Amino acid sequence: MRYETERTRRRGHADTATDTLARGLGLFSIALGIAEIAAPRALARALGMKGQEGLIAGYGVREIATGIGILASKDPTPWIWGRVAGDGLDLATLATALEGKNPKKGNVGIAMAAVAGVTALDVYCAQTLSRESPHPLPPMQDYSGRTGYPRGIEQSHGAARDFEVPPDFRTPEALRPYTQPEAPRHPQPSM
């Protein structure tokens, strides 16, 4: 998108904001994955999905793999699209828990709303990344020689001290002592 830094330049992407979002989603994937693997039983209970602990832990493995993919790859775009697909799977799975007489339907609804929110972020991030050119950025221009001082900076530093600042642009006399370190600590009023 609008600018580039050393890091995004290496990646071939010019937009750090989306880049940061992508890394955020990667970290989120890993955190969610760890939760799904560590506590599949608690999750299943909360969602009224007893018997599906294996599936939940499996999804956890998927989340962690995607998260690592996002963080470790040079180009996170396909991995973010992978998250979008995973979100679809999550939503479909949760939808099955809405069928029948599940007493935890309320929790399932909350979970689906949360997943839908993250899905929106994933889609936005994936689309923005996909719009960017896949070609690496050209090497940085070297402007270190563009000083602007034909005779060198030593010659130019202070060269315009002969310039007299017009009265209407001057710092008020009374304020001057306060902005100059070598000024007396307690300026004496002249009386």
By CB under 8 A, name the binding residues for another protein.
1-6, 9, 14, 16-17, 20, 138, 140-151, 153, 155-161, 163, 165-166, 169-172, 175-176, 178-182
Minimum distance between the CB of residue 183 and another protein, rounded to whole angstroms? 9
Structure tokens at 27: 């970290």
103 alpha carbon, distance to own chain's centre: 38
Minimum distance between the CB of residue 74 and another protein, rounded to whole angstroms? 19
d(CA 15, CA 174): 47
Minimum distance between the CB of residue 108 and another protein, rounded to whole angstroms? 31
Closer CB to another protein, 100 or 167, in the complex: 167
Amino acid at 169: F
Closer CB to another protein, 7 or 50, in the complex: 7
50 alpha carbon, distance to own chain's centre: 37
Closer CB to another protein, 20 or 130, in the complex: 20
DSSP state of 171: P
DSSP state of 137: P
Closer CB to another protein, 99 or 182, in the complex: 182
**What's the first-to-final CA gap in the chain, in angstroms?**
62
Nearest CA-CA partner of 13 in 136, 121, 126, 124 = 136
Minimum distance between the CB of residue 177 and another protein, rounded to whole angstroms? 9
Minimum distance between the CB of residue 101 and another protein, rounded to whole angstroms? 43
Closer CB to another protein, 99 or 142, in the complex: 142
